[in-house]
Structure 1
Amino acid sequence: MPNYLKLTTITKGLIRVVVETPRGATAKLAFEPRTQMFGYVRPLPVGMMYPYDWGFIPSTLGEDGDPLDGLVIHQAATAPGVVIKCNLLGALRVKQKDEGGEVLRNDRYVFCPHREDAPDEPVAADHVPDDLRREIEQFFVSSVLGTGKTIKFKGWQNAAEARKAIKIGVKAFSARR
């Protein structure tokens, strides 16, 4: 079984995202490094489901001590453990306050799968449209209900700015090893 946390982050300019919670799931799933398995974390609030695949960027480390988070915008549903090579669209900058009161940055990176044939994805390969940004923000606000966490948005980064932030996450991961 591959060690998902240590996969190469970038290959041929594309960024890998490991799916933890697939599109349509009504519960949050997460990769558990100790057991190398994907496990149940918690249900989403009633009536909610993941609008797109949710996962992490391997070989990165964020302020929260976990790999950087990624949302993959596409129409297919996958499964936990699927690795998708993606184009980076941008990132939603997020300040998160945990149940214990700790405040940290926990950005959400937004991707679309790279396709070599005719693309049918709902977004352009270089940005997140404004209406989709609002929908993504609403999902993240609603998804933390009942967790003791609060989040505040600090704006959006374009793909170039987000790529720089991912490279910082790669350096943090390398330094921790």
Structure 2
Amino acid sequence: MEKEQLITVLVESPKGYRQKFDFEPGSGRMKLSKLLPEGLMFPFDFGMIPDTKGEDGDPLDVIVLSESGTFPGCLLDCRLIGALTAEQTERDGQQMRNDRFIGVSAVSRQFEEVKTLADLPEDILTQTEAFFENYNRQAGKRFRVLERLEADAAKQLLWKN
């Protein structure tokens, strides 16, 4: 049996938080960058994949499914189960790709059988997409999901970056 390949994720904003933190490479610390509006919070741990770079110049974004949240700056081993390819329109009208990778914490019990997006209940994916759309709308941006990628295609996209 082939050993499962894991990626390391740096959590910036944990599940249930309204605070959006960003990792600052220069200081090696987390910095509070914004507060989400009342009633809007991260549905799962949200962070980045270190040593990667997306079209926006930032490390690639990842949301990590698990039954509990962690804390800002926590490193997690995750298996990549898919991705949402997305187009983001900034306040100034500039458009760029800003994909969201989807992982499952290697220590999760609730999601331990989830290996690909097809294994997830549809409402988790729909609500996650709606969160990113609403989160960006609140910031004056537009976020549009282009495609859902299953695990193998998401891995190819990740290694391309």
TM-score, normalised to structure 1's length? 0.83
Q: Work out which of the residue numbers 95, 103, 121 in structure 1 matches 2:95.
A: 103
| Partners of 1:123 and 1:129 within 8 A in 2 | no
1:36 Cα offset (Å): 1.6
Give percent identity, aligned residues only.
34
Q: Please show how residues 1-177 of structure 1 align to structure 2 within 5 Å.
A: 13-115=5-107, 119-121=109-111, 124-127=114-117, 128-169=120-161
- Write the deviation string for residues 113-143 of structure 1: whole angstroms up to 9, x where unpaired: 114xx83228622224322110101111111
1:39-58 residue CA offsets vs partner (Å, 9 max, x unmatched) = 11111122111111000011
> Relative to 1, partners in 2 of residues 1:122 and 1:136: Cα closer, same or farther, differing over 3 Å?
farther
Q: How many residues align?
A: 157
**Aligned-residue CA RMSD in angstroms?**
1.8
Distance in structure 1 (CA, Å) of the matches to 2:10 and 2:55:
19
TM-score (norm 2): 0.90
The answer for unaligned runs of 5 or more in structure 1 is 1-11, 170-177
Q: Deviations over 1:15-44 (max 9, x none)?
A: 111100011111211111222210111111
Q: 4+ runs of 1 displaced by more than 6 Å?
A: none
Extract unaligned runs of 5+ from structure 2.
none
